[in-house]
A and B are shown apart, each in its own frame.
Chain A
Amino acid sequence: MKKLLPLCLAMSAVFATSAQAEELTGTLKKIKETGTIVIGHRDSSIPFSYLDASQKPVGYSMDLSAKIVDAVKKELKMPSLVVRYNLVTSQTRIPLVQNGTVDVECGSTTNNLERQKQVAFSVGIFEIGTRLLVKKTSGIKDFADLAGKNVVTTAGTTSERLIKKMNDEKKLNMNIISAKDHGESFLMLESGRAVAFMMDDALLAGEMAKAKAPNDWTIVGKPQSYEVYGCMLRKDDAQFKKLVDTALSNTYKSGEINTIYKRWFQSPVPPKGLNLNFPMSDELQELIAKPTDKSAEQM
């Protein structure tokens, strides 16, 4: 199945031109009728989807969503399609996609089985490992060193679930703090309330880049899980999903993804002009070579 998918995608690309003959349904029909596509974005998921100094949403996932918009424009022959941006939070993103406020959400949303019951996911756009951000001088090298210590993670993330589970199973006696967002988690770490911050490694690199002294911090520990980020779409909308998947897969195939990756992970990024220095992982390279809309647990 893994091998079949790229083939299907390639074929769908070939037939994409004939799709116009099909009757428009679902999201594409809505976009055609309203002349507007609504993209959901985040405000502080650096460098995936966040606001720059002029309060404009930017980031790796936003560049990819621009590819989707281009494909929609081409497909519907609407070069002057209006693109509207709608801020979402981790609590609002699923209902806003479901109720039609947002047509596609590209941020740092993990594709998992629970969410698949509510929404559909595009092919994966990123793959992360869940690791720890610690002070270089703390001496913490891996999860085992956290026994009896205060550890912070962001509420509602997979990391929260994993660390609570680990605490329960391995009797590590950690005090786990669930902060409301990544910025607050990092504040807990920086102010000394916690000795480690568990989160997706790419987001940790983003928080580190924002720190007062980025060089004081380091990312350690064996990844406790791998997770695939995807763009969220409404369920049961095969036409729009095919278009989105094709647009993303084409970006991967043409190698343009490497330019986008370099721009956000290996060059200075707004707002502070810091470089995350986060080279592409083997897992992400694999995902780009073989695009799939499966969650990590299904792979």
Chain B
Amino acid sequence: MHYNWDWGVFFHSTGIGSEIYLDWFVKGLGWTIALSLAGWVIALLLGTVLGVMRTLPGKVLPRIAAVYVEIFRNIPLLVQLFVWYFIVPDLLPEGLQTWFKQDLNPATSAFISVVLCLGLFTAARVCEQVRTGIQALPKGQTNAAYALGLRIPQIYKEVLLPQAFRIIIPPLTSEFLNIFKNSSVASLIGLMELLAQTKQTAEFTANLFEAFTLATIIYFVLNMGLMLFMRWVEKRVRVPGLIALGGK
């Protein structure tokens, strides 16, 4: 293959102000982290609420949560993003629509769409894990809590969720890493996160392989770091002997 390698390309000037291409990667990484963390907050909060709803007694609430999960889990992420970015704003009232599309900085409106999209999509997955975590606990936990006279909110807050979360830390770690990788869909609506900056560098320099190699390394290192962090969290919160699955 006739390829002209040039690893120094990241230090070349972009021709815009005094920027070098490496600056683009740094900026892109910043957006990627901001998008993912904001999305993760939504996913974790909403996912927990939905997960609890799925395990509640009665029919209506569990069913609502189940429908939510099926909708958000079965539609491709990219399709959801286009819905949030292109279709939902058009359904807003006139004034709000103009504000969202024209007055807001385009990067801000794209950011809002991506965070909503990632957060709501991942919430469906977090919901299922929270549900599994709760259902993995022996039935006796709930019954004992009832016998002690706890109300339902107390049962979840004091008994079920603290144990369930400890059980599901490993799969939650996967979701946490996934949201960072999934945030790359933002590049398709013009938000200059890591993948968008990589593509731009590749196009501007024609040094495609160097650009994508650097992006691969950045994603890998970032995700390794997050994984080690989550492992540390898992160890920190472990309660020895309390959960057969979680303890040694």
Contact = CB atoms under 8 A, between A and B. Distances in A.
B106 interface: yes
A98 B200 contact: no
Contact of B190 (A99, A155, A161, A164): A155
A149 to B, nearest CB: 9
Contacts of B74: none
B1 interface: yes
Interface stretch (B63-71, B121-129, B201-209, B223-231): B201-209
Interface string B80-115: 000000100010000000100110011101100000
A161 B206 CA distance: 14
Contacts of B6: 117
B183 to A, nearest CB: 16
B102 A193 contact: yes
Interface in B150-201: 187-190, 192, 196, 199-200
A156 B190 contact: no
Interface residues of A, number: 37
Contacts, number: 88
B208 A94 contact: yes
A178 B192 contact: yes
A156 B4 contact: no
B206 to A, nearest CB: 4
Interface residues of B, number: 34
- Interface majority SS (helix, strand, loop, mixed), chain B: helix
A118 B3 contact: yes
A192 B89 CA distance: 11
B200 A178 contact: yes
Contacts of A191: 86, 90, 101
A236 interface: yes
Contacts of B208: 91, 94-95
- Interface majority SS (helix, strand, loop, mixed), chain A: mixed
Nearest to B109: A193
A187 B86 contact: yes
B220 to A, nearest CB: 20
A140 interface: no
Nearest to A99: B1
A294 interface: no
Given A160-B200, A180-B188, A165 B15 contact: yes
B139 interface: no
B16 interface: yes
A94 B15 contact: no
Nearest to A118: B206
B2 interface: yes
A115 interface: yes
A193 B205 contact: no
Given A98-B1, A178-B196, A193-B101, A155 B206 contact: no
A105 B147 CA distance: 75
Contacts of B16: 161, 164-165, 168
Contacts of B209: 95
Interface string A38-54: 00000000000000000
B240 interface: no
Interface of A: 90-91, 94-95, 98-100, 114-115, 117-118, 150, 152, 155-157, 160-161, 164-165, 168, 175-180, 184, 187-188, 191-194, 234-236
Given A94-B208, A98-B3, A180-B189, 6 more contacts: A90-B203, A95-B3, A118-B206, A150-B102, A156-B199, A180-B188
24 contacts: A91-B208, A94-B206, A94-B208, A95-B3, A100-B1, A117-B6, A118-B2, A118-B207, A152-B190, A156-B202, A161-B15, A164-B16, A165-B16, A175-B107, A176-B106, A178-B192, A184-B189, A184-B190, A191-B101, A192-B102, A193-B101, A194-B106, A234-B2, A236-B2
